[in-house]
Each structure stands twice: as C-alpha cells, then as structure tokens.
Amino acid sequence: MRGNIFVVAAPSGAGKSTLVNALLAEDPLVRLSVSHTTRAPRPGEQDGREYHFTDVRTFEAMLARGEFLESAHVHGNYYGTGQTWIESVRASGHDIVLEIDWQGAQQVRRLYPESVGIFILPPSMAELERRLRGRGKDSEEVIRKRLANSNEEISHVAEFDYVIINKDFDEARRDLSAIVRAARLTLSQQTVRHPKQFDIAGSSSNPA
C-alpha cells in the first residue's frame, strides 16, 4: 500500500499553511513534507519543523546531487523537497502533503502523475493584500513582491484538480479534508487497502 501525494499550492497569504496545519491536526494518516529553503527563518519558526533552513551553497550542492524531488527559486530564495523521505513515507501507507508553488507542482506531476493537485484561492486580491499586511512578518518590499507574484501563481490554477476558495476558514478546512478522504476511496486505493472485501465481491459475482 502506498500513500497519496497531495500537492497544495496558493499565492502567499491565501491561508495555505493554516489549512494544511488544521488537516495535519485532525488526520493522523497525513504527513507534511518539510521542504529545504535558503530563506531566513521568521520569528517563531524552527529548523526541521516549518523548513529545513540551509544556505545557498549547501542547497545548490544538494541540487547538483539530485536529492530533490522538486525545487524552485521563489521570492529570491531556493525551495526544494527531499525525495528519499517522500518514498519512505509513502511506502509506510501514509499520505503526504507538499506545500509548494506551481513550479514545484509541475515537477511533481511529471514524476507522480497520480498526485492530487489542490489550489487555495483567496476570496479577492484586496483580501489577499489585507492578510499579507496583517501578518506583520514581512517588509513592505517583500509584501509588494508577493502581491506582484500572486498573479503569476493564480494564472496556473487550471493545472490543479481541485480549487478551494478560502473565504470562510472552517468551510475551507472541511473541503480540504473531504478531498483527502475522497482520494482514499478510489477503486485503486480501496482494492489495496481492503483486498479481502474485494475477494468477497469477486466470489459473489461468480456463484458456483
């Protein structure tokens, strides 16, 4: 049995991380892929929890060795997902959530076409800007850059399987949970998870 891969993308400030954290808190079968990044930690962030924080030289060396499932250069920093960890967790039957941008999502789809793409949209661009400013974590320059890049990010929404509009958090949280549960109920997943039930189904359709 192999777990599902859920790729969650969104423009910065749409609430992606908050929704994913809520999913992780309520679903013990889901694991979050902790990416590597060259950006500096924000207040309260811990190495190995939010990200594996590293320097540019180390990241580029890992990239050259082919250690990343996907990587991207976003907002002036590198981001990448370690491949070995992904394979070991999937093999244990746990689902994996990747919080990555559209560039990384394209790379993951090429390697894992069965992955499930989920895009988080804000209710409006005005609300997106309000959320970015309300976080109080970024400089004015960074906020302007993130707003400018959000249009590029949103332009790739059609490449994803599901879209959640994060207007009401509780509703968006339920939508994300529903997508994860539905992915586990596909025929291909269920025949592996519950083979005995399908043996019964097969025998009943071919009576002696």
Domain ranges of the chain: 5-33+95-204
Beta bridge pairs of residue 121: 165
Q: Which residue has the tokens 């941008």?
A: 101
Rounded average pLDDT over 114-121: 96
Q: How confident is the model at residue 85 (pLDDT cuts 50, 70, 90)?
A: confident
> What is the arithmetic mean of pLDDT over 86-103?
90
Which residue would you say has higher pLDDT here, 70 or 115?
115
pLDDT of residue 42 exceeding 90: no
Structure tokens at 47: 């190495």
Rounded Cα distance between 102 and 156, Å, is 7
Residue range 56-85: mean pLDDT, rounded: 90
Residue keyed to tokens 């423009």: 11
- pLDDT average, residue stretch 68-84: 88
Region 124-153: mean pLDDT is 88
Reported as a pLDDT band with limits 50, 70 and 90, residue 205 is low
* Residue 115 to residue 6: CA distance in whole angstroms: 6
pLDDT, position 142? 86
Q: What radius of gyration, in Å, describes the C-alpha atoms of the chain?
A: 19
- Average pLDDT score, the chain: 90
* Topology at the third CATH level for domain 5-33+95-204: Rossmann fold (3.40.50)
Task: State residue 201's pLDDT score.
Answer: 59
